Every structure is written in C-alpha cells, then in structure tokens.
Structure 1
Amino acid sequence: MESTTRLANVAWEAMFRAQATLAREFERDGEWGDLLPREYGVLYALSRAPEGLRIIDLCDDALLTQAGVSRLVIRLERRGLVERSDDPHDGRASRIRLSAEGADVQRRVGRAHARQVASAMTRALDTSELQTLRDLCLALTEAASDPAAMLPERNSK
C-alpha cells in the first residue's frame, strides 16, 4: 500500500498535469476573439462583481499578481472593456467594473469557453465524477484558505 505522502504527491501531480493540459488546450483552441485568456479571466472575475473589484481583490479572483492585473486592467481600460471608479469605502483605491461593451464581450466569449470546457470535461468524466471532482477541488481550496478549518482526524490519515 502506498504511503499517504507518496499518494498525496502522485495525486497532486495528476491534478496539476490535468489542469495544465486542459489550460493549454483551451488557450490553443479557444474562441477568445481579440482577448488573451488572462484578459478573459479578468473580465470573468468582474462579471461576478456588479459593484466592481479593487485591484487587490481582482488579483485573488483572477489568480494573477498585482503587477500583472494592473497591466491587464490598463489594456482592457484602453480598449473600453473596463472602467474605474472611486471606491466608496477607501479613498485611496478605485474599483474596476465591466463597461457595457466589456460585459457583452465577456458573455460572448464566456459562452464559447463554457462549451469548450464542458466538451473537454465530459469526454472523460460522467456527471457523478464531475460532481466528485468539484467537491474535492472545493475542499482543497477551502482548506488552503483556512488551514485551521481542516478537521484533525483528516490530517492524521
């Protein structure tokens, strides 16, 4: 029987390779229009935040560095896809929101991307497996963001 340490590392490697392989496929074969996949990621994050997001919050949501997000936001702002406004809770900060055009682009590209994701995921996994994968990934994400919430009996396995 494999040790827990070995199994955890093999599982991590499998998950990492699956994500990287699919991300390359989506980047290569996706219908991104004139967007880069990372630009779409910022538009997607903003689509779920009607009041907009501060740059620091956008970094967490888009999984990019602050410098990377700042450069992306400047490019998207120049193209009229996002707009800045003052943050009502912090006079030093601004909030980034989708413009009307940005919302249209996000919906159009998002529909195509959602079809591609569904196709890639369902070619190997059935509904039950997708639900299990979702639940496992959510548990990993939750435990990483709040390690104290991890149950002691789970850590000892």
Structure 2
Amino acid sequence: MTDRRLAIDAWESLFRAQHAIFAEISDDFDDTLSQEEYDVLLTVTRGEDLTARLRDVTGNMLISQPSVSRLVDRMTARGLLTKCPDPHDGRGSLVRATDEGSALFRRIASRHGASIARRMAVLSDEELEQLRALTAKLRHTAPDD
C-alpha cells in the first residue's frame, strides 16, 4: 500500500513544479496567440493536411467542450482556422489551420519550444524519459489499478 504522506508530498511537489514552470513559460504567449489558442493549433497542425476533428481538439484541451467550441469559433472569425462538417461524422466538424494560423503557430512554437527546453535542461535525458513515463502512468492509470 502506498504511503499516504509520501503520496501527498509527491503530489504537492509535482503541482508546485508544474506551477513554477508554467509561470515561466507563459511569457511565450502574447496578444497574438493565447495559450488556449496555441493548444488548439498544436492539435490541428499535427493532423494530416493541418486538419483535426473538433472532438480530438476537445480531447486534448483542459477546458469544457462548449468552451472549446466557442474558442474555435473565435479563432475561425480571426482567420486562424476554418471549420466545416466532418464528411465521416454527420454530427462532427473538422477544423483546419489557415496559412495565417499555421505561420503564427510556428512562430510561437519555436519560442515556446526553446523556453521549455531551457527550463527542462536541469534534467538529464534519462530523467526526462523517466518523467515522461511517470506522468503518462499517472494520466492513464485508474486509482484502483
């Protein structure tokens, strides 16, 4: 059985580390693209032909489905995305990065990636692999497993 105090201490340490790092790298975003918009474009630009299903975008976000839909609609109005019905799912939509959206994403992603790499450089490659494996395990394991 897991030591409860150790679990709480580890959780607090993880939470505080995430908070500190997030505060530092949030400076990568400016008035041209918010963190949430970046996250949408991250999912969309990884898709074939810079396209993703809206439900996949929603699945990668940390906000509710209605909030994602409103965000995508605002990004469409700004010319960063296009949105159309999904021909394979009559209830779904496809979103595609426009040339403007893709270019803006690449510009911010370059700066953001460099910030993340600088901040994470305190860890060795082996430690980074361990961290990735541990956080994946935390995300994908049910509490009773």
Taking only the aligned residue pairs, the percentage that are identical comes to: 38
> C-alpha displacement at 1:57, in angstroms?
2.3
Taking structure 2 as the reference length, the TM-score comes to: 0.87
State the aligned residue count: 143
Q: Give the AA of the match of 1:19.
A: Q
Taking structure 1 as the reference length, the TM-score comes to: 0.81
> C-alpha displacement at 1:105, in angstroms?
1.4
For residues 4-153 of structure 1, the aligned pairs below 5 Å read 4-27=3-26, 29-32=27-30, 34-50=32-48, 52-122=51-121, 124-144=122-142, 150=145
Whole-Å separation in 2 of the counterparts to 1:79 and 1:48: 20
3-state secondary structure, aligned to 2:32: coil
Whole-Å separation in 1 of the counterparts to 2:81 and 2:128: 33
Residue ranges of structure 1 left out of the alignment (5+ in a row): 151-157
3-state secondary structure, aligned to 2:82: strand
> C-alpha displacement at 1:112, in angstroms?
0.7
Residue ranges of structure 2 left out of the alignment (5+ in a row): none
Q: C-alpha offsets along residues 23-73 of structure 1, whole Å, 9 cap, x if unaligned?
A: 12211x215461111111111111122263333321211222112211211
3-state secondary structure, aligned to 2:95: strand
Q: Deviating runs (4+, > 2 A) in structure 1? A: 50-57
Asked if 2 retains the 8 angstrom alpha-carbon contact of 1:39 and 1:72, the reply is yes
